[in-house]
Amino acid sequence: MKPIKTITGPAAVLPRANVDTDQIIPARFMSRSRSEGYGDQCFHDLRFSDNGTPRMEWPLGDSPHGPTVLIADENFGCGSSREAAVYALIDYGVEVVIAPSFADIFRSNAGKNGLLTISLPRDCVREIMDLLRRTPETTITIDLPRQRVQAGAMEIGFDVDGRLKYRLERGLDELSATLEFESAIADFETGHFGSYSWTKPSGAAPGQHET
């Protein structure tokens, strides 16, 4: 995961509520390995007709790459809990999704993989959508340390879980964040096993436990 401080880039509007994970990455593409990437399959059935031609009504255009910032509608990422939906968005080029609300599991998966999700009041999201419809070349800036979204003349604050913010700013997944405390964990284990030797697994060295 790369650290997130400030993200600035082009934005696009996806004016659909309840975009589920099967729309983000259809299940038939999930046999691919992560190393192959999912970007070209992201939103596949919304981007292309059955004969493979681009849908002219697709709101994000016909570019093979997505916007840096995606402005979506309510309950984004609902449906099944497939983590590949987050992979697909990241591989498509999306770094931030802004919406009034997200499915809980999708939001959790996004945070674990470095995709920033921002919930804003419905009126604010609509205002950003209107701005982008009027001036689609508008870029949006997200300042994670300050927790601010800048869109045109608008500057809007957003909430983010403190632990998630810490990890995203440093590019840490959950395991890497835990390993920052490796020496403290080892010290605790040494003291614990010293006081309660009967709890020490057979053959384990101080600061080590068997699985």
Q: In CATH, what number is assigned to the domain containing residue 96?
A: 3.20.19.10
> Does residue 143 share a domain with residue 211?
no
SS3 state of residue 123? helix
pLDDT in tens, the chain (211 residues): 889 999 999 999 999 999 999 999 999 998 888 888 899 899 999 999 888 888 888 888 767 788 999 999 999 999 999 999 999 999 999 999 999 999 999 999 999 999 999 999 999 999 999 999 999 999 999 999 999 999 999 999 999 999 999 999 999 887 776 666 667 777 677 776 777 777 667 665 555 554 4
> Does residue 33 share a domain with residue 112?
yes
> Does residue 162 share a domain with residue 201?
no
Structure confidence at residue 207 (pLDDT): 53
Give the separation between CA 1 and CA 8, rounded to whole angstroms: 18
The C-alpha angle with vertex 93 and arms to 116 and 46, in degrees rounded to 5, equals 100
Considering its fold, how many domains does the chain have in total? Answer: 2
Structure confidence at residue 206 (pLDDT): 52
Given a contact cutoff of 8 angstroms between Cβ atoms, the answer to whether 117 and 110 are in contact is yes
> Does residue 133 share a domain with residue 205?
no
Strands 6-14, 139-143: pairing is antiparallel
The dihedral of CA 113, 93, 100, 161: what is its sign?
A: positive
13, amino acid identity: V
Cα separations (Å) of 169 from 28, 88, 93, 115?
34, 22, 19, 12
1 within some domain: no
Q: How many CB atoms within 10 Å of residue 207?
A: 15
CA 157 to mean position of chain CA atoms: 18
Given a contact cutoff of 8 angstroms between Cβ atoms, the answer to whether 161 and 102 are in contact is no
> Does residue 54 share a domain with residue 116?
yes
161 within some domain: yes
> Does residue 89 share a domain with residue 32?
yes
Domain span at 206:
181-211
